[in-house]
């Protein structure tokens, strides 16, 4: 599925794509600055998390947000240097939890991720427009 949207429509888009996801393990494939964290924040809000709590886990690698759907785990693997680092912080415990795992820069740990991860690709159309491919 493909959805083109204006950034001002991000909350509506998040609510629209949630029922389309075939897994709670979601990988976001997009270049720097394309809006991965922004979309994840809207998805977390749609799942009942406090939007003021959702921010990029660039330095912590994983953030946890309580929500009406249970805990949401938000990963940013940008600073992970080796797959072993991800194993050391317990990546499989998170992935096997059955809870939402929303992952930025998943290509850095791709060999560790299960085959049933859902991929959301974000393309920059112009300054205010994005295209999501699920």
Residue 32 binned pLDDT confidence (cut-offs 50, 70, 90): very high
Sign of the dihedral through C-alpha 51, 132, 121, 78? negative
What is the number of domains present in the chain?
Answer: 1
Residue 124: alpha-carbon gap to chain centroid? 17
| Mean pLDDT of all residues in 19-47 | 96
Burial class (CB in 10 A: 0-12, 13-18, 19+), 98: exposed
CATH number at residue 65: 3.40.50.300
Over 80: is that where the pLDDT of 39 sits?
A: yes
What are the residues whose beta carbons fall under 8 Å from the beta carbon of 109, sequence distance 6 or more?
A: 77, 80, 83, 86, 91
Q: Which range marks the domain in which residue 11 is found?
A: 2-133
H helical segments located in 18-128: 36-46, 83-88, 91-95
The pLDDT of residue 58 is: 77
Among residues 1, 118, 123, the alpha carbon closest in space to that of 131 is found at: 123
In what side-by-side order are the strands of the sheet with 2-6?
A: 2-6, 129-133, 118-126, 25-29, 100-104, 72-76, 62-65
| Mean pLDDT of all residues in 89-114 | 96
The pLDDT of residue 55 is: 86
pLDDT in tens, 59-80: 889 999 999 989 999 999 999 9
| Mean pLDDT of all residues in 40-55 | 94
Quote the mean pLDDT of the chain.
95
Helices vs. strands in the chain: H and E counts, helices first: 4, 7
For residue 17, report the phi and psi dihedrals to the nearest 5 degrees: -85, -25
């Amino acid at each position: 599925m493909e959805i083109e949207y204006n950034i001002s429509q991000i909350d509506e888009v998040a609510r629209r794509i949630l029922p389309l996801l075939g897994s709670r393990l979601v990988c976001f494939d997009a270049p720097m600055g394309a809006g991965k964290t922004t979309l994840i924040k809207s998805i977390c809000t749609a799942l009942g998390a406090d939007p003021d709590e959702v921010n990029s886990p660039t330095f912590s690698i994983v953030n946890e947000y309580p929500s009406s759907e249970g805990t949401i785990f938000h990963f940013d693997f940008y600073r992970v240097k080796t797959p072993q680092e991800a194993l050391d912080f317990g990546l499989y415990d998170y992935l096997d939890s059955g809870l939402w795992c929303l992952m930025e820069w998943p290509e850095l740990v791709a060999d560790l991720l299960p085959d049933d991860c859902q991929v959301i690709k974000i393309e920059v159309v112009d300054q205010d427009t994005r295209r999501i491919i699920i």
